Chain A
Amino acid sequence: MIPDRKGHFGIYGGKFVPETLMAPLEELEKAYRATKRDKDFRDVLNNYLANYVGRPTSLYYAEKITKALGGAKIYLKREDLCHTGAHKINNALSQALLARKMGKNRVIAETGAGQHGVATATSAAFLGLQCDVYMGTEDMQRQALNVFRMKLLGATVIGVDNGSKTLKDAINEAIRDWVTNIRDTNYIMGTVFGPHPYPMMVRDYQSVIGKEAKRQIMKAEGRLPDLLIACVGGGSNAMGLFYPFLKDSGVKMLGVEAGGEGIKSGKHAARFAGGSVGILQGTKSYLLQDEYGQVLETHSVSAGLDYASVGPEHCFYRDAKRIEYSYATNKEALDAFQLLSREEGIIPALESAHAIAQVIKTAPKMKKDEVIIVNLSGRGDKDVNHVANILGVEF
């Protein structure tokens, strides 16, 4: 069973947290497992996912870029069409509903790109919960639009000015808040990271992506895909797509990390290409760290991928050679961002543009009757200003 009862994915995962959090993590796991067996809870959640989030999202055959690249058929799993514009809502809404079921009236979250913060703020507004979102001040600047969206949704955005002022520091602050306010607060973690049960729970909530994709591709092509591609920050959109296909041995999987300005530059967030095993924020996983175990600053054009570690389950399947990992640089992602906008009329999130960049490299090497599903995990409206800045466009 993956993970085992203590939340281990082989040598990875686990619960490396202060003692104070052991009880609330146990409470959370117990409540989560109970709702899995609770038909009423599942019915309510499925109803919200269908009518509020807009699931199932479409699996769209991208004919123009398929032709342009001249190789495998490319399908986009359109998580960008979810309410709030990214896959993050699948998990945030599920965890918020769980929090309400547990009688907690306040939720907190960390956010990097702002998508998980927006998704949590949205879910809290929808379910009538108080919501505080921690966000690095560097990210607040990069994602000013999402900061305002969260405020509109009634959440309080708390700027985190420590360390690199990005996602990692926001998680530290969110954990410090949770440890202080455990009695009335649930921490809604945005990715397949952190102490058990989060990696398992978030994976399960996001695996709706892969379950739908499997049904949809069988309908469209009458067979399973040859390759799945998704970007990997913490790794929740990737795990959500990959997980339901893990037992289908003919389906290859490729996770794409943020290569930043290139691995040699040291300015990147490619944990597998440049990291080693370590323990951060409750879990054992691959980590970008120096020789003394101090966590390194990361860099990516995409705030959502700009993180020093990665979900522990990804490490497990990488060791098992079930999932492969590569990276795309800032430049490749920016090119992909523009290509998809121009060719398909779909502006992808910069995170998802890393997956598209990989498609651009891989699809031409595949046969025309082969099939790729790429997770278009979010839409790029939030990134338009940032990209304009980089491209030197002034308004």
Chain B
Amino acid sequence: MNRIDERFKKLESKDEKALITYIMAGDPSLKVTEDLIYAVEEAGADIIELGIPFSDPLADGPVIQRASERALASGTTVEKVFDMVQQVRKDSQLPIVIMTYYNIIFKYGELRFLQDAEKCGVDGLIIPDLPPDEGEYITQAAQKHNIDLTFLLSPTSSDKRISLISKKSRGFIYYVSLTGVTGIRTKLSESIAPMINKIKTVTNKPVAVGFGISNTEQAGQVSTYADGVVIGSAIVKLIEESSSAGERITAVKKLVNDLKMGICRQ
């Protein structure tokens, strides 16, 4: 059992839901990312998703696209992100999930990636452009290296795919709340609750919902039927808009704290 499973177990025992926060590693620098990890943990995040930038992030909307550009401009690479995670592990046991596109992992070497990820203290991996159909090798290898490879489900997933992905996904199941890219939306999709209920009929694994959830109210609403809520673009936007390091930490902490409150209040 790794840190992700432990966290969901612990939350379940308290009848709480997980707040999963996404930030792009290296946006605007890895030092800032490290400080932000401590900040979101302190503010109540249960799991952190760390993006590793890719030049062509086709599942992402404009906010995270721009974060990728900033992270690439600051010279962020897989190796440097792993070094930073190793540093973080000296002070923090917050579950860390890496989110990146398949080519980054493929080029680094799938096995080498998993070995190095395990060594530095990464717990999970999400690859938005790798459905389980193409990921047989990495699925098996990840298990050997104690990395939870989490797959995604979407509003368009058929019953057959819900079964397949519920079986293959580890750590949790990532339900994409809408048909579209990451980003801030004013309204939640109405199909979230029925789809989560459907997923819950075939699996006992935790289901977290992401894409398009950006404020306390939405997070609270989603947490009434999901086991976790993923917030990305809303946090990344604060990072983008802050003019100083102090302001950045304060703003992100406040949002994360509010979100956690929103989730707990349900």
Across the interface, B77 reaches (CB within 8 A) one of A19, A163, A176, A292, namely A292
State A305–B83 Cα separation when bound (angstroms): 39
Q: Is the interface of B mostly helix, strand, loop or mixed?
A: loop
Interface residue ranges of B41-86 to A (CB < 8 Å): 54-59, 61, 65, 72, 77-78
Flag if A168 contacts B180 (CB, 8 Å). Answer: no
The contact string, 1 if C-beta is below 8 Å from chain B, for chain A 278-317, is 1111100001010111110000000000000000000000
Flag if B154 contacts A19 (CB, 8 Å). Answer: yes
B72, B103, B134, most chain A CB atoms within 10 A:
B103
Q: Does B222 count as interface, using CB distance less than 8 angstroms?
A: no
Flag if B134 contacts A293 (CB, 8 Å). Answer: no
Q: With A22-B131, A289-B107 in contact, do A295 and B55 touch (Cβ < 8 Å)?
A: yes
Q: Does A203 count as interface, using CB distance less than 8 angstroms?
A: no
- Which residues of chain A are near B72, meaning CB under 8 Å? 294
Flag if A18 contacts B154 (CB, 8 Å). Answer: yes
- Which residues of chain A are near B108, meaning CB under 8 Å? 292-293
Flag if A293 contacts B176 (CB, 8 Å). Answer: no
- Which residues of chain B are near A176, meaning CB under 8 Å? 58-59, 61, 180-181
Total residue contacts A-B, CB cutoff 8 A: 106
Q: With A172-B58, A281-B56, A293-B107 in contact, do A19 and B152 touch (Cβ < 8 Å)?
A: yes
Q: Does B39 count as interface, using CB distance less than 8 angstroms?
A: no
Q: Does B190 count as interface, using CB distance less than 8 angstroms?
A: no
Residue of B nearest to A162 (CB): B65
How many residues from B make CB contacts under 8 Å with A? 39
How many residues from A make CB contacts under 8 Å with B? 35
Q: With A291-B107, A292-B104, A293-B108 in contact, do A15 and B179 touch (Cβ < 8 Å)?
A: no
Flag if B154 contacts A293 (CB, 8 Å). Answer: no
Q: With A175-B58, A179-B59, A281-B56 in contact, do A22 and B161 touch (Cβ < 8 Å)?
A: yes
B58, B131, B154, B176, most chain A CB atoms within 10 A:
B58
A16, A17, A22, A281, most chain B CB atoms within 10 A:
A16
Q: With A176-B181, A293-B103 in contact, do A20 and B134 touch (Cβ < 8 Å)?
A: no
Flag if A19 contacts B103 (CB, 8 Å). Answer: no
Flag if A278 contacts B103 (CB, 8 Å). Answer: yes
Across the interface, A292 reaches (CB within 8 A) one of B78, B128, B151, B165, namely B78
Flag if A17 contacts B129 (CB, 8 Å). Answer: yes
Q: Does A45 count as interface, using CB distance less than 8 angstroms?
A: no
Across the interface, B107 reaches (CB within 8 A) one of A16, A281, A292, namely A292
Interface residue ranges of A226-281 to B (CB < 8 Å): 278-281
> Using a CB–CB distance below 8 Å, which chain B residues touch chain A?
54-59, 61, 65, 72, 77-78, 101-108, 128-131, 133-134, 151-158, 161, 165, 176, 179-181
> Using a CB–CB distance below 8 Å, which chain A residues touch chain B?
6, 14-24, 162-163, 168, 172, 175-176, 179-183, 278-282, 287, 289, 291-295
Q: Which 7 A-B pairs have the closest CB atoms?
A: A293-B107, A23-B156, A180-B180, A20-B154, A294-B55, A279-B103, A295-B55
